[in-house]
Structures are given as structure tokens and as C-alpha cells.
């Protein structure tokens, strides 16, 4: 089991919490991006820098992720690709993407992009505050620990 971070848009606070959880549970944390992404000092994270082309980090994440891993991303099209391969995907606001909800979220995202393309600016995403942080922490902890327990059970079996 690993935690993979789409580093291009993941807030530092989230990255650091994930890195600390990985260290605590002895789970590898890998951050993928087209440039080095900073973490607080003392945190051990494997940084994988990909080429600076459109979709390179997404393609690398899809290639690297396996069932049992947890991926953190804001990118809904990437989340949809990963969910199709039975990988657990969570965003930095605590939304866990599932086969039941990812297509709907992708549809809403595409609709908003169309509105924007026609010059109709959709409402912006709400600020990232305590409510979003708390939801992320709860969902991350539950999902992460469930995957950790599952990986340890399968390792023992």
C-alpha cells in the first residue's frame, strides 16, 4: 500500500499531514508533479518529477497506482480514471471518489467548464477553511487506516 499525491494542486497542509501519517504507519508516500514540491523539513516523501507536458503527472499516477493504494487529487478526470482501476481516490476537501459519484462529479465539472468557455463564469469554489480541513482529516484517516489494515491482513495471509 502506498499514498500517491498529485502534487501540482495539493495544499502543503494536506501534503504534510499525509506524509506524517505515512511515516507513522510505515507507508510509502510518493508525490508526483512536473516540478519539485516542498514538504516541511523532516518529512520523508519520495518525489517523482515527471516531464513538463500536459497530462504527464496524471499519466504517471495512473500507471503507478494499484488497487490498495490511496491517491490524493483535485483533478476529477484523473480521479475518474483511477476509480475505474479500483484505486481509492480522495480530494483535499474530504470527498472520496467512488464508482457511484465520480461520473456525476465529472459531468458537473465539464458543465462548469462549458459555461466558462461561453463567458459565463460559474461560482468559484469556496475558500479552504476549518470545515473543509476537518472533513478532509476525518475522511483521510478513515480511508487511510482502512487501507493500511487491509494491506497488513493480506500481507499476513
Total-model pTM: 0.86
- Strand ranges of the sheet holding 46-49, from the earlier edge strand across to the other edge: 46-49, 28-33, 2-6, 70-72, 88-90, 96-97
Q: Write out the chain's pLDDT in tens, 157 residues.
A: 999 999 988 999 999 999 999 999 999 999 999 999 999 989 999 999 999 998 899 999 999 999 999 999 999 899 999 999 999 999 999 999 998 876 766 666 666 677 667 777 766 666 788 999 999 999 999 999 999 999 988 766 5
CATH of the domain at 14: 3.40.50
Q: Compute the distance between CA of residue 91 and CA of residue 97 in angstroms, rounded to an integer.
A: 8
**Which three three-digit cell numbers place residue 103?**
461520473
| CB distance 68 to 147 below 8 Å | yes
The whole domain housing 31 covers 2-156
Q: What is the domain count for the chain?
A: 1
Alpha helices of 26-129 — where are they, by DSSP H?
A: 56-64, 76-83, 102-117
Amino acid at each position: 500500500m502506498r499514498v500517491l499525491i498529485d502534487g501540482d494542486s495539493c495544499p502543503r497542509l494536506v501534503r504534510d499531514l499525509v506524509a506524517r501519517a505515512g511515516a507513522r504507519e510505515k507507508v510509502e508516500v510518493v508525490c508526483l508533479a512536473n516540478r519539485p514540491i516542498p514538504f516541511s523539513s523532516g518529512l520523508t516523501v519520495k518525489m517523482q518529477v515527471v516531464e513538463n507536458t500536459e497530462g504527464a503527472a496524471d499519466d504517471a499516477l495512473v500507471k503507478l497506482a494499484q488497487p490498495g493504494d490511496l491517491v490524493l487529487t483535485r483533478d476529477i478526470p484523473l480521479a475518474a480514471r483511477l476509480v475505474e482501476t479500483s484505486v481509492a481516490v480522495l480530494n483535499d476537501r474530504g470527498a472520496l471518489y467512488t464508482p457511484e459519484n465520480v461520473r456525476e462529479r465529472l459531468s458537473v465539472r465539464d458543465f462548469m467548464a462549458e459555461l466558462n468557455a461561453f463567458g459565463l463564469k460559474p461560482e468559484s469554489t469556496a475558500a479552504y477553511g476549518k470545515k473543509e480541513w476537518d472533513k478532509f482529516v476525518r475522511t483521510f484517516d478513515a480511508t487511510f487506516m482502512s487501507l493500511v489494515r487491509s494491506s497488513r491482513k493480506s500481507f499476513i495471509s
